Amino acid sequence: MKYIFISICLTFIFSCKGDPQPTSQPIQPPPVVEKIVEKPAKVMVYAWVDKLRLREKPDTKSGIVKELAEGEPLVLTGNETDFKEKINLRGVLYNEPWMEVITTEEKVGWVFAGGVKLYQQTIDKSISPYDQCYQLLELGNERQFRNCELKVKEEQLKKYNAYIKPDPRGYEINLLSGEKLTLLDNDPSKLGRNTSLDFRAYYPEIGNFVFRMYADSIDQYLLVNDKDGSMMPLWGFPKPSVKHNHVISLSSKNESKQTNGIQLLSFTSNGLSIMHEHDLLEAKPLIAKWIENDKVEVTIKQPSEKSEQLTFTFEGGEWKTN
């Protein structure tokens, strides 16, 4: 009996020694969840009367910050007066409040609400990589537009590095046929002297690489076929339609030799062909939106800073404008 008792005690002691000793663990604080406050979307309006006065205060006797051109875009700050005022505009008496707005030059002031209208946003059914950049240009932010262009170009180079190999002299292109095409700056055998290239995009859907081409102080664009390397110069950056059977190209004049114009291309039995060219003279095209596959809206800016929309429709094998 004595031996049994000792055996039980020893078993108990050794079994206790085998159990892991509890260790004190530091108490981890709960993760901090950062509350993300979404910024309200910008509400855009435009002046629908010419020489609408942007004033320092909501009062017709207040100092004038700027005279707004018809069609000039503005951003609402959300501030407006509690009172309304009766003002006659183009023969119509409006009873409206005053609204605080910001211009594209970031000038802040007050406008009579009867003199502005909300933008009716056209839904763009086709997307190009540089759309966000051209929206900045539409708002007059040219410096931000250039920075945006550079950022998107780097993204395109990274995305399509299997096809495009840049080097200090130009570019090497791996065509889908398996052949290599070398495009060099200032090459008289291909593009000519005083001509340089800058890769901008690749559209597999239309089978073309897009390059910006600088020649004799004129900025143009160049389509390079991804199968046979054939080339087609364009006035401006191309944007395909919804089903990729049409392309629009916009060009804004920077130098006297450059065209302010619109080119419309379509795929025919002969491949991609220029079907229509529209010279805008002094008006500058800003942005193109494909409303439908066969219909595109172009926003243009007149020398007076007035913005307008042109619509082009493909009917009966040809392009027609409104």
* Total residue count of the chain as it appears in this document: 322
The single-letter code of the amino acid at 175 is: L
Query: Among 17-21, 115-119, 146-150, 202-206, which is the least confidently predicted range?
Result: 17-21
User: Within this chain, do residues 200 and 157 fall inside the same structural domain, yes or no?
Assistant: yes
Residue 21 lies in a domain: no
Q: Could you report the per-residue pLDDT of 235-282, keeping only the tens digit for each?
A: 999 999 999 999 999 998 766 667 889 999 999 998 999 999 999 988
Burial of 62 (0-12, 13-18, 19+ CB in 10 A): middle
Phi-psi region for residue 123, left (φ > 0), alpha (ψ -120 to 50) or beta?
beta
Task: Report how many domains make up the chain.
Answer: 2
pLDDT value of residue 218 = 77
Q: What is the side-by-side order of every strand in the sheet holding 108-112?
A: 64-68, 52-55, 108-112, 98-102, 73-80, 44-47, 116-118
Shared domain check, 135 and 113: no
Same-domain status, 204 and 94: no
Percent residues over pLDDT 70 in the chain? 84
Higher-confidence position of 12 and 174: 174
Flag whether pLDDT at 22 surpasses 60.
no
pLDDT at position 294: 97
Q: Are residues 197 and 281 in the same domain?
A: yes
For residues 239 and 104, membership in a common domain is answered with: no
CATH number of the domain to which 51 belongs: 2.30.30.40
Q: Which residue has the tokens 């004595």?
A: 2
Q: Do 248 and 144 have their domain in common?
A: yes
Let me know whether 110 and 153 are in one domain.
no
C-alpha–C-alpha distance, residues 285 and 252, integer Å:
6
Q: Which amino acid is at 224?
A: V
Structural domain boundaries enclosing 98: 44-118
pLDDT value of position 159:
96
Q: What is the pLDDT of residue 34?
A: 47
Of 55, 86, 118, the domain-final residue: 118
DSSP 113: G
Is pTM beyond 0.85 here?
no
**pLDDT tens digits along 29-79:** 555 444 444 445 577 888 888 889 999 999 999 999 999 987 788 999 999
Selection from 70, 43, 45, 64 nearest residue 109 by Cα: 64
Please report how many Cα atoms fall inside a 13 Å half-sphere around the Cα of residue 249, on the Cβ side.
27
Residues 102 and 136 in one domain: no
Co-location of 108 and 162 in the same domain: no
Q: How would residue 191 be classed by pLDDT, with cut points 50, 70 and 90?
A: confident
Q: Identify the domain boundary among 59, 93, 118.
A: 118
Residue where a domain stops, chosen among 118, 151, 171: 118
* pLDDT confidence tier of residue 92, bands split at 50, 70 and 90: confident
**Cα distance between residue 238 and residue 226, in whole Å:** 15
Q: Let me know if residue 252 belongs to a domain.
A: yes
235 and 160 within one domain: yes
